[in-house]
Structure 1
């Protein structure tokens, strides 16, 4: 799937209300973390992870809403999701879901064997599906709350895709946060700068959050807020979405009691 970087300013009814509405509750977030790691998850980490997921889904919905508005529609369809991702490469997250959604069939490429023969996609039985796919239904209430906050509706197939992407993204975030704890910081990932064609790449910033979070502090048994922030720099490109996700996560986790 071809995607081009884009720079959008968010607009619409969601801007003032989304930060006040926690669509993904801490118990759900901690349940997702338990699916991938036995480590303890602090309250601030759970709130930060919920915030990052909310920011990403809000941006995806906003991009889809823009695509639907061009056709004078308020009800989102899966095609609007594809348009949003095509217009903004930062929104291409939770890609493991693509293998399980009819929306993305034929768009993720094909695999050939050594003789050039197309290898058919594997059959996905429920027992072998990743936990993020099986548990995607847990995110439906939060997705619907985000849709209402932006004043849009979505067909069932679109809700299914949004909840699947949310589940896979948060699961990947949890897995990377656990890796940060095990490895003592971000060790293997660089930074990506998104620019428009013809524009020079900006110089690396000394305030890059990836550099600031490269060395971890804390014990090796608890996932904290900064571990989630470090995982966010792994999951998201170094563009506007990542910076907004980090900023909003810090705000959401502020003044959270320890534990």
Structure 2
């Protein structure tokens, strides 16, 4: 992975402008955390969670954009989401959303029309609407902002899927962060190493920064930035996306208090 140059520490109006550019606001993050835990969420923890969610959704959109580009399209359809996940297992996050979305139900034989709407088979069972996931719609504005930043648009069904995945991912992140606080750290780390067929698989490595998250400091009533970073190591099992999310979260919070 190419090392990114260190960014200068942000402060004052410059910090505000960077934070205002985030598609997922701290108020939204705290609303999700309130659904999961009564613990206080620090300012830096809220920004870290927003940053991690942004990184994950950006990577998913980029993968879908590449799939659409192969068909000379700039408007993303649910099939592009499936292609992105098929090509990169690291993007398979927020998978509880799959139970609520027709995109992921009975993938074999699913067809889409020119507008990205699923063409129904002759017989289909009734299923819960995506709106069954409480609060998923809260992410729509942020999703659309990320789509615009990558020069694409998406059909409503695709926006709904990205919306739901973001909601589920952040909810899972909140649960894991609360668990880290309760248990005093992360007891073990999981990782998936991708290798070419026929080539030896390199042994998994554990970065010193990840080891540092295994033991938690601080009170048991507040979710801090490092708790979000530790939860990220649980949620993101692949090395590349996980490292990018951790790096960008640290950069996004470097001028805020860790507690």
TM more than 0.5: yes
Q: Compute the displacement of 1:207 (Å).
A: 2.1
- In the comparison of the two structures, how many residue pairs are matched? 228
| Match in the other structure for 1:249 | 249
| Match in the other structure for 2:105 | 105
SS of alignment partner, residue 192 of structure 1: coil
TM-score using structure 1 length: 0.81
Residue 237 of structure 2 is aligned to residue 237 of structure 1: yes
| Match in the other structure for 2:138 | 138
State whether residues 232 and 242 of structure 1, in contact with CA within 8 Å, keep that contact through their aligned partners in structure 2.
yes
State whether residues 191 and 239 of structure 2, in contact with CA within 8 Å, keep that contact through their aligned partners in structure 1.
no
What do residues 153-191 of structure 1 show as CA deviations (whole Å, max 9, x unaligned)? Answer: 100000000000000000000000000000011124433
SS of alignment partner, residue 134 of structure 1: coil
| Match in the other structure for 1:196 | 196
Runs (5+) with no aligned partner, structure 1: 1-6, 8-17, 109-120
Q: Distance in 2 between matches of 1:19 and 1:58?
A: 16
In structure 2, relative to structure 1, the CA distance for the partners of 1:234 and 1:65 (3 Å cut) is: same
What do residues 86-142 of structure 1 show as CA deviations (whole Å, max 9, x unaligned)? Answer: 00000000000000001001149xxxxxxxxxxxx9965999x5xxx2111000000
TM-score using structure 2 length: 0.81
What do residues 54-89 of structure 1 show as CA deviations (whole Å, max 9, x unaligned)? Answer: 000000000000000000000000000000000000
State whether residues 225 and 258 of structure 2, in contact with CA within 8 Å, keep that contact through their aligned partners in structure 1.
no
Q: Distance in 2 between matches of 1:72 and 1:82?
A: 17
| Match in the other structure for 2:153 | 153
In structure 2, relative to structure 1, the CA distance for the partners of 1:176 and 1:159 (3 Å cut) is: same
Residue 32 of structure 2 is aligned to residue 32 of structure 1: yes
